[in-house]
Amino acid sequence: MSLELEQEVSLKEQFEELMIREDKLEIQEFLNNQNISDVAELVYEFPDYESQMLANMSVHRAASVFKILDLPTQKQIIKELPPFKTAELLNELPADDRTSFLEELPGSVVRELIKLLNPEERKITLSLLGYPENSIGRLMTPDYVYIYPHNTVAEVFDTIRKYGKDSETINVLYIINEKGELVDDIRIRDIILAAPDKKVEEIIDGRFIALNVYDDQETANEAFKMNNRVALPVVSNTNKLLGIVTIDDVLWVANEEFSEDMQKMGGTEALDEPYIETPIFKLFKKRVVWLIILFFGELLTISAMQGYQDEIAKVVVLATFIPLIISSGGNSGSQASTLIIQAMALGEISIADWWRIMRREIVSGLLLGSSLCIIALSVIFVWSSFTTTFGDHAMLIGLTVGCSLIGIVLWGTLMGSMLPLILKRLGADPAASSTPFVATLVDVTGLLIYFSMAYLFLSGVLL
């Protein structure tokens, strides 16, 4: 047994013994001496004691544990805690984490919980909840250290000592003027290295990056990625400094966005809560809409096949290759769609790159289709050597299938790569051009291409 596993077992055993003895002082001392992540693991391991654990910890450490727990556990803890403990916990939570938690709750519950906040925290929370959902305003925290250009370095240190304890981070300080407008930001390192009598305005260079409070949260993700920062200021439309966004909150958002995109790409609406906690009827509603849309899409495939019933009756072997043909187009389209959506999410491409993307996908589609064409021809020729399925027309049937594969794979890659860009241009989520949607679209057009090739090669021979 590894040392890490032994420690984990020992931790659980110690906690069980303490709970049996019901000595509150020992329990409190034990929990306050553990790492935050270890306490969170205990909360998951012993769900019957989750609220007791947080109630027996110092409020600061309890808030640190609470904010890293998953949403269902947070809800259960708030439901079980006495009102005064709930008030302590919510008041201690950083404003941005508290806002993220509250916006996941029903309005009636939020109203009751906000009543438990002290006047200052209530004002901050209501302000953050007033910004649009998924905006940077919902993500920011008002806990930061600001200074003025005329402050000396010595005065800056006095400010840090006075307000730094309640700040989300002091790695970066923010300089504002008398109107509250952001002038610049400065790393604490530059302050430490400067002479005590030097003024802030002599150190700063006026170059800073700020986020607008109404921008989408994905904007913050891009800004952090491009600028290698641990925190960024958030300003109003008039450049008033309103708060800051820290890297841990942005990473949380990025994880949520990734989960939503994966669900949409699978052909379902994004879930608002963990899968196992989602009510079955709500899960049904999330999935049934796309299934109905795809169902009607596949009806077009049936209509296309009905239009070629006579041809299929004359050359039954054509029907044999239909699953191969349409699945190849759907697979190539799904590949292209996934690659483009991921590249857009990472900021590697934009709508402006559509022509470059199309050229690349045309080349890719031709290469991929040609590869499948060669394989199909080889299989059909080998197959015809052992059976009489194709009669004397193995070459023509092979060319029909092979050339169809080139056309369908090319069409699939073009559709898969262009649909996300078109949706983005229309203001929709590119992930909505999901794998099933692209596959369904290519199924219909793939049949048209297939039977067009059949007419081209088999007309006057078998048709």
Concatenated DSSP letters of 311-374: HHHH-THHHHTHHHHHHHHHHHHHHHHHHHHHHHHTTS--GGGHHHHHHHHHHHHHHHHHHHHH
- How far are the Cα atoms of 176, 203, 205, 236, 449 from residue 148, in angstroms, in the given order? 5, 12, 14, 19, 69
> Cα–chain-centroid distance for residue 38?
26
Average pLDDT over residues 15-34: 79
Average pLDDT over residues 240-250: 84
How much is the pLDDT for 80? 87
CATH superfamily of 146-246: CBS-domain (3.10.580.10)
Q: Is there a contact between 138 and 128 (Cβ–Cβ < 8 Å)? A: yes
Q: Where are the domains of the chain?
A: 3-130, 146-246, 275-458
Give the residue from 67, 73, 60 showing the smallest Cα distance to 97: 67
**Residue 186, phi then psi, degrees to nearest 5:** -145, 140
CATH architecture of 275-458: Orthogonal Bundle (1.10)
pLDDT at residue 444 is higher than 90: no
Question: What's at 388, amino acid-wise?
Answer: T
pLDDT at residue 283 is higher than 80: no
Whether the full predicted model's pTM is greater than 0.75, yes or no, is no
pLDDT at residue 440 is higher than 90: no
How much is the pLDDT for 115? 76
> Cα–chain-centroid distance for residue 240?
30
Give the residue from 222, 170, 168 showing the smallest Cα distance to 192: 170
pLDDT at residue 230 is higher than 60: yes
pLDDT at residue 296 is higher than 80: no
Q: What is the SS3 assignment for 402?
A: helix
The two three-digit tokens of residue 386, written as one number:
């052992």
- What distance, in Å, lies between the first and last C-alpha atoms of the chain? 72
pLDDT tens per residue, range 132-184:
877 888 888 878 888 999 999 999 999 888 888 777 778 889 999 988 889 99
On whether the 3-130 domain is CATH 3.10.20.30, my answer is no
> In whole angstroms, what is the distance from residue 422 CA to residue 420 CA?
5
pLDDT at residue 9 is higher than 60: no
Q: Is there a contact between 175 and 184 (Cβ–Cβ < 8 Å)? A: yes
> In whole angstroms, what is the distance from residue 245 CA to residue 221 CA?
10
> Which residues neighbour 91 within 8 Å (Cβ) at sequence distance 6 or greater?
116, 117, 118, 121
How much is the pLDDT for 3? 44
